Amino acid sequence: MSRLAPCLALIVIVTCSSNPARAQFSESDRARLVAEIESAAKNLDPNLLPDLESSKSQLMQRVAAVHRYFDANTDPDNRAAWLAYLDLDPLVKAIDSDGSPGVIAREAIDLRYRLVGTAPGLELTALRNLRDSVEQLIEAIRFRNKERSIESLSKQLDTLAERVGKFDTHPSADDFAAVSVLTGVLSSSGQASGLVTSLRNTFSRPNAAILIGESMVQTAVNQDVNENRPVRDCILGTRIVGDAALNGTVTATLLPSVGAARVHVQLVGHVVSRSIGYNGPVKLRTVGYGDVTVTRMMSVNESGVKLEPAYARAVLKTEILAIEHKLRLVRKIAWKRAGKQKPKADRIAVEKMRKEVGQQFVEQTSEAVAIAPPDVLAEVRPVLKRLSLQEPSQFWGSTAQAVYIDSTFRRHDQLASVVSRPSIAESYDAAVQIHESVIDNAVGPVLSGRTIKESQLNELMEKSGRLATPEGDDESEPPFEIDFARVRPVIFEARDQTLRVGVRGTRFAQGSRELKRAMEITALYEPARTADGVVLLLRKGEVDVDFPGGNRLTVAQAGLKRTIQKKFSTVFPEAVMDRPLEVPADAKLDALRGRVFHPRLVDAKDGWLTIAVR
């Protein structure tokens, strides 16, 4: 049973999925939200809007706190480097000199971009507090004209009420974006807290799941047991010396549970022992045949692993093959005595076997718990803080077919899904399910309004394992940069077995050429299956560059459109998921080490993208 502990540890690390009932946006949800939105539009309170002077004062306090932190906790060189990176002086001076709201807002937005990123250190509490104050200042400037702000919010709510009234059971990506954006606006403006809560409760279903199929769990846990060990014992005054062989299997059975995954681990084995008993000058040659079953329940959730007591059952049949002594009379007496003591001796032997095998099983399963499950968010947690994102929630459970963790990823001012994740009809080893809201929630706070240069985009592509964007035929071709839109900067739509991905921008520039207008750069992908059953995503047609609004492009702008299309053809390649997933050879778990997985299912519907591998 030496492999049992690391194999059981896999249960702690991996997750499988149940197939919940398909919840969706109901007619009662629609009617209730419309009524609440209409009511909120009539009851906005200008006194709840963020106060500009208070926001300025708080920001200045947080700036002072940053200086105090670096003074007390780092050396002069590091302090100077951080303050040079943050570049706080322009915003401080604009506030001190009572600069115009536009100037203060511009400097505040620039500072927020510097405070949101992947650089180590941005997760420090002092910097996160400063970021919160900067964001509050930006909103205070946005809503500084209270009367106009209330009027605008009321109109937006009326428009949303009309739109929600037309929602179907599966709101479109644009419908979701409309609700999500206004939820964020209401939250930042301090308005309609009851409506914000109601919207979050309606759009509150988990929006991500990591799944491991039953076959993977069985591969990790199920194993043959073949052990030989010496027997050294003393029963009723007889010293026993011999060998015992245990042959059996260890299996895991999943049980329905909510709040924790429950796994029933069981050893079923057959024991054969051959031994010699020494009682004075008499030797007894015996053989034993036994069957033993040991079971233990394991519960796993975000708090860790809990093992219940083990239960062992055993039966044993022994035979005395021979009694050896040089005198026949002694042998006859020994046979008679052995016959009388055998029932009691068998009871003692079977109990010893039950306890010994049971204790060994307990040690092995406890060893699996001793291998602390990796904190899958340990490395991600600081990055989330740096990016102004919140840690996703986890919900554990199991069915007779699977163990699962559902996750909800959103900030306090964001929404999750209103539609439950779809079931997976095909068999799989591992899978992931992602709702459109995950992408919106993750990239919105990071990319909204940012300017990204080609070099930065190339760096992201290289980290993802893709080639950088082409430099073009002319090596002197200048690099480009793109301004992301402030609302829904990244497009991710999983509908009708088609995946639409892209970016929304407000400006594209290359050298002296510049195109300043709203644009959508998108690609459509559809699943395709190869002859050997592997599934990949193939781009349908060329990358599309669209300019909402309808105005015709100039000749120069049309030339830039072709440049955009060429550059983003590598960002959105012709084939995606065209490479197998290989587990590193140095992986800690034997069951996964060196294994290669291929996509076998891609499903895109109702806002959910499902990718399953075997």
Q: Has residue 525 been placed in a domain?
A: yes
Cβ–Cβ < 8 Å for 185, 225: no
* 254 plus 347 within the same structural domain: yes
* 189 plus 227 within the same structural domain: no
* 177 plus 238 within the same structural domain: no
Q: Has residue 188 been placed in a domain?
A: yes
Q: Has residue 411 been placed in a domain?
A: no
Q: Has residue 285 been placed in a domain?
A: yes
**End-to-end Cα, the chain, rounded Å:** 27
Cβ–Cβ < 8 Å for 24, 98: no
Using DSSP's 3-state secondary structure scheme, residue 6 falls into: helix
**Domain boundary pick from 154, 172, 202:** 202
Determine the structural domain holding residue 531 and report its residue range: 416-613
Cβ–Cβ < 8 Å for 176, 415: yes
Using DSSP's 3-state secondary structure scheme, residue 596 falls into: strand
Residues 6 or more apart in contact with residue 577 via CB below 8 angstroms: 535, 536, 537, 599, 602, 611
* 94 plus 172 within the same structural domain: yes
* 187 plus 219 within the same structural domain: no
* 465 plus 362 within the same structural domain: no
**C-alpha dist (Å) from residue 165 to 162, 168, 583:** 5, 9, 48
Task: Kindly report, residue by residue over 554-588, the tens digit of the pLDDT.
Answer: 777 788 888 899 989 888 999 998 888 888 877 66
* 72 plus 149 within the same structural domain: yes
Q: Could you tell me the two tokens for 146?
A: 């209270």
Of 188, 180, 236, nearest to 488 (Cα)?
180
* 341 plus 421 within the same structural domain: no
* 198 plus 293 within the same structural domain: no
**pLDDT score recorded for residue 574:** 93
**pLDDT score recorded for residue 556:** 76
Q: Has residue 141 been placed in a domain?
A: yes
* 423 plus 275 within the same structural domain: no
**pLDDT score recorded for residue 255:** 87
**pLDDT score recorded for residue 464:** 55
Give me the residues of the chain with pLDDT under 50, please. 1-21, 467-473
Cβ–Cβ < 8 Å for 583, 13: no
**C-alpha dist (Å) from residue 378 to 259, 338, 373, 395, 464:** 22, 63, 11, 18, 20
* 428 plus 363 within the same structural domain: no
The structural domain count of the chain equals 3
Q: Has residue 33 been placed in a domain?
A: yes
Euclidean distance between CA atoms 594 and 368, whole angstroms:
21
Euclidean distance between CA atoms 219 and 212, whole angstroms:
11
Q: Has residue 603 been placed in a domain?
A: yes
**Domain boundary pick from 202, 237, 270:** 202
**Domain boundary pick from 202, 230, 260:** 202
DSSP letter string over 58-122? Answer: HHHHHHHHHHHHHHHHS-HHHHHHHHHHH--HHHHHHHHTT--HHHHHHHHHHHHHHHSSS-TTT
Residues 6 or more apart in contact with residue 585 via CB below 8 angstroms: 593, 594
Euclidean distance between CA atoms 64 and 96, whole angstroms:
14
Q: Has residue 382 been placed in a domain?
A: no
* 359 plus 439 within the same structural domain: no
Instruction: Classify 109 in phi/psi space as left (phi over 0), alpha (psi -120 to 50) or beta.
Output: alpha
Give the E-state strand segments of 156-217 in sequence order.
208-212
Count of C-beta atoms within a 10 Å radius of residue 156: 17
**pLDDT score recorded for residue 595:** 86
Of 268, 313, 315, nearest to 289 (Cα)?
315
